[in-house]
Amino acid sequence: MKPVIAIVGRPNVGKSTLFNRLTKSRDAIVADFAGLTRDRHYGNGRQGRYEYIVIDTGGFEPDASDGIYREMARQTQQAVAEADVVIFVVDARAGVCAQDQDIANYLRRSGRPCVLVANKAEGMLEGAQPAQFYELGLGTVYPVSASHGQGVRDLVEVALDPLHLPEQDAPDANADKGTIRLAVAGRPNVGKSTLINTWLGEERLVVFDMPGTTRDAIVVPFERSGQRFELVDTAGLRRKGKVFAAVEKFSVVKTLQAIESAHVVLLVLDATQGVTDQDAHIAGYILESGRSVTLAVNKWDAVDAYQRQLLQRSIESRLAFLKFAALHFISAQKRQGLGPLWASIVQAYRSANCKMSTPVLTRLLLEAVQFQSPKRAGMFRPKMRYAHQGGMNPPVIVIHGNSLEHVTDAYKRFLEGRFRKAFDLEGTPLRIELKTSH
Ligand code: GDP
Ligand code: GDP
């Protein structure tokens, strides 16, 4: 599981700027979905060998009023509770103020590992100004400049190194090859625990006795029709004895961690509720993580034909970005439609790990271009020469040629469709990268 860093501090010290720095190394999709959570921002990040999740608590209006101040405290407390380490940001130029003191007191009491950072320290004499922050009682002060990117890489190391994290177990580094790690994700009450317990009670599904435990996570190994799986527990889901039960509080961080550690995510929606904002957030995180996904609309038994139609339409529009995922309508309670889910989950896993050879990719590419060539843009006509596979899980196809910066998104989607069809890729995101040689 990725470690979680929370960024706290009073308004205007540069928390959002630092958040953007820490998450910048990932794809731009992060930015596209950043606006989805209004109160707190969650993002994935990577610096050097460290991968992590960052929470920014800066999403509130700094207008001073009691209500807002209380809201800030609440945000800070929640983020701190979810974090492995806290980055406490102060303003190197403004010096210590009362609000900094309050936050420092809170952090000291919380007992969380904490790194004190004096931001906006660009161009300041080494060690001079930040020294006053020692009075906050949180030890060493690290000067950084979030907007100039100075000190940020070291900061990640300072924050994460003392946690002594085990080697991060990326799903593809899974020792037990061929075992599919499955996370069942979704809002509270959509029926996740009902579904899992129905599964685990089925005779076709052989649950192994010893659930393995990784850091903070419970993993249940089982086998179905000769295929090995591992169920990772998800936000709001915990194993209680032999059954899974929902816990009260939904945690975005736990959801993100489960998604990150899975090969395939089964996203469960509730037919009686339609597609809610929270569903869209979770879907956004899945897409951003690059994981494979299967969609299940549960409680299909509880809606009539009209509602079903509405629902299908709202899925098509609100979850259009997961169009590549198989969609199933199920009833966990009545045990309807559950069988076909497995085929889709396995298919999603296979698709994510699909191997595509350069000759085949290049042939498909040239056939596609012959069928429909990319549009000329002014003087430029993009010329595609060959393609190779740039990665797996999710698969990446790299296309080489000239003037490829003029290729439209619509044309990329056209190519994506051709590749998907040819390789029977269902349930996995597919990334297409264009490389122009000059
Ligand atoms: P937040 O309210 O704590 O999230 O703060 P923001 O990230 O929105 O930053 C507040 C202001 O400080 C903005 O005008 C930023 O451009 C500025 N700022 C952020 N980081 C730095 C920095 O490293 N140096 C300087 N000089 N300004 C910064
Ligand atoms: P979780 O919070 O996502 O784990 O949701 P639960 O499994 O606890 O289910 C929430 C509620 O939905 C419970 O009252 C279940 O009985 C009900 N429920 C679960 N699956 C179905 C279903 O297929 N049909 C109907 N009608 N209700 C269901």
Q: What is the pLDDT of residues 97-141, one digit of tens each?
A: 888 988 898 888 888 899 999 999 988 766 556 778 888 988 889
CB 387 within 8 A of CB 400: yes
- Ligand 2 atom closest to the Cα of residue 190 is 3
Evaluate: CB of 214 within 6 angstroms of ligand 1: no
At 335 the pLDDT is 93
For residue 88, give the ligand nearest its CA. Answer: 1
Instruction: Name the token pair of 290.
Output: 């690059």
For residue 21, give the ligand nearest its CA. Answer: 1
Rounded CA separation 389/361 (Å): 8
Query: Which of 78-92, 186-200, 223-237, 407-421 ranks highest by mean pLDDT?
Result: 407-421
- The residue that leads in pLDDT, 324 or 77, is 324
Q: Please state which of the ranges 146-150, 262-266, 325-329 shows the lowest mean pLDDT.
A: 146-150
At 139 the pLDDT is 87
pLDDT in tens, 173-218: 444 568 999 999 998 889 988 898 888 887 777 766 555 544 445 6
Owner of token pair 């996995």: 428
**Residue list for the binding site for GTP:** 9-16, 56-60, 119-122, 186-193, 233-237, 298-301
Residue from 147, 150, 155 to probe ligand 1 pocket by mutation (most atoms less than 8 Å from CB): 147
pLDDT in tens, 58-109: 644 434 455 555 666 676 777 888 889 999 999 998 889 888 988 898 888 8
Rounded CA separation 150/130 (Å): 15
Q: Which among 23, 18, 21, 47 is positioned nearest to 120, based on CA atoms?
A: 18
The closest residue, in CA terms, to atom 6 on ligand 1 is 14
Q: Which region, left, alpha or beta, applies to residue 216 given φ > 0 means left and ψ of -120 to 50 means alpha?
A: left
- Ligand 1 atom closest to the Cα of residue 62 is 2
Evaluate: CB of 145 within 6 angstroms of ligand 1: yes
Evaluate: CB of 75 within 6 angstroms of ligand 1: no
252-261 and 277-289 are packed helices; what angle lies between their axes, rounded to 10 degrees?
40
**Residue list for the binding site:** 9-16, 56-60, 119-122, 186-193, 233-237, 298-301
Average pLDDT, the chain: 83
358-371 and 409-423 are packed helices; what angle lies between their axes, rounded to 10 degrees?
130
ipTM: 0.76
pLDDT in tens, 376-395: 888 888 999 999 999 998 99
CB 158 within 8 A of CB 115: yes
At 255 the pLDDT is 80
At 63 the pLDDT is 44
pLDDT confidence bin for 219, thresholds 50/70/90: confident
pLDDT confidence bin for 44, thresholds 50/70/90: confident
At 358 the pLDDT is 95
Q: Which residues of 170-188 are buried (b: 16+ CB within 10 A; e: fewer)?
A: ebeeeeeeebbbbbbbbbb
CA of 38 to the centre of ligand 2 (A): 27
For residue 103, give the ligand nearest its CA. Answer: 1
Is residue 232 over pLDDT 50? yes
Evaluate: CB of 192 within 6 angstroms of ligand 2: yes
At 268 the pLDDT is 95
Instruction: Name the token pair of 202.
Output: 């089925």
Evaluate: CB of 149 within 6 angstroms of ligand 1: no
Evaluate: CB of 59 within 6 angstroms of ligand 1: no
At 163 the pLDDT is 78
Rounded CA separation 393/422 (Å): 18
**Share above pLDDT 70 across residues of the chain, in percent, rounded to a whole number:** 80
CB 122 within 8 A of CB 145: yes
pTM above 0.80, yes or no: no
pLDDT in tens, 333-360: 999 999 999 999 999 999 999 999 999 9
Q: How many helices (H) and strands (E) does the chain have?
A: 12, 19
Residues 6+ apart with CB under 8 A from 177: none
At 245 the pLDDT is 64
